[in-house]
Amino acid sequence: MSSPWHKANPTLLEKERNEVEAAYPSLHFHIVNYAVFVRGTFPIVLEKEVFDRYLIEISLLRDYPKSMPIVREVGGRIPHTAERHMNPADGTACVLLPDQRWEVWPPGSTLLHFIDGPVLNFFLGQSLVELGEPWPFGYWSHHADGIREYYTGLLGTDDIRTIAQFVGYLTKENIKGHWPCPCGNGKQLRDCHRDMLRDLSTKIDRKLATESLRKLRERSKLS
């Protein structure tokens, strides 16, 4: 098994730590075995004024930054329900749709980008929802429905079979030009959506695509 990221790349750890701790003095890095935990108070600040604060823990697992940071609210304030976008099984916060990661937290982005982006947006939304306001930037539907919505936006169709075939291609190591295009126009991929697919296959991890495909298939069986 390979070394955990912080041991393999101590420079990255220092860079991440310095950036985050400079921007958020109330968040602290702790190394426990193979993981790095960032714990403390996350403030929602505008023009130096604090409007709310959450007690959070962000876990950076062994294969970070390949794997996404895992966010938890540890103050017991947010109920662990799908409606509040908290995973009821383990209390993790679903701050973004993993398939969309390449758009909102692309490779090379730092942890600070993640905190200033999806994490801030998530907790800002929680505070507004707590006050009876809607989610400020909307939300993805739960489970496979959210994945379907995302690919619908990308592909321009909400046909689940088309979407599943498209995501299925993203699970393949190589995308072949002679495969039929999932868009359904009867053309081969090379004459249709090949470039888009190849581009996306560099952005959406195959393991993630496999997981999304499983969820989509489960959903299509149900509906």
What is the contact mask toward other proteins in residues 84 to 123, using x (rule: CB under 8 A)?
Answer: -xxxxx---xxxxxx-x---x------------xx-xxx-
What is the contact mask toward other proteins in residues 141 to 170, using x (rule: CB under 8 A)?
Answer: -xx--x------------------------
Instruction: Please answer whether residues 130 and 85 qualify as being in contact, where contact means their C-beta atoms are separated by less than 8 angstroms.
Output: no
Smaller CB distance to other proteins: residue 58 or 192? 58
As measured in angstroms, the least distance from the Cβ of 161 to other proteins is: 20
Smaller CB distance to other proteins: residue 141 or 188? 141
106-110 LR contacts (CB < 8 Å, sep 24+):
106/203, 107/65, 109/65, 110/15, 110/16, 110/19
How far apart are the C-alpha atoms of 106 and 175, rounded to whole Å? 22
Decide if residue 221 touches other proteins (CB under 8 A).
no
Residue numbers 126-145 binding other proteins by CB under 8 A: 127-128, 131, 133, 135-140, 142-143
How far apart are the C-alpha atoms of 93 and 118, rounded to whole Å? 11
99-108 LR contacts (CB < 8 Å, sep 24+):
99/147, 99/150, 99/151, 99/204, 99/208, 99/209, 99/212, 100/150, 101/68, 101/208, 102/203, 102/204, 105/68, 106/203, 107/65
Neighbours of 174 (CB within 10 A): 6
Give CA torsion, residues 121, 122, 128, 134, to 10 deg: 90
Binding other proteins (rule: CB under 8 A), the pick from 15, 53, 190, 203 is 53
Decide if residue 125 touches other proteins (CB under 8 A).
yes
As measured in angstroms, the least distance from the Cβ of 92 to other proteins is: 8
As measured in angstroms, the least distance from the Cβ of 198 to other proteins is: 25
Burial of 108 (0-12, 13-18, 19+ CB in 10 A): exposed
As measured in angstroms, the least distance from the Cβ of 93 to other proteins is: 8
Binding other proteins (rule: CB under 8 A), the pick from 1, 2, 11, 76 is 76
Residue numbers 18-47 binding other proteins by CB under 8 A: 21, 25-26, 28-30, 32, 39-41, 44-46
Q: Which residues bind other proteins (CB under 8 A)?
A: 21, 25-26, 28-30, 32, 39-41, 44-46, 49-53, 55-57, 74-76, 79-83, 85-89, 93-98, 100, 104, 117-118, 120-122, 124-125, 127-128, 131, 133, 135-140, 142-143, 146
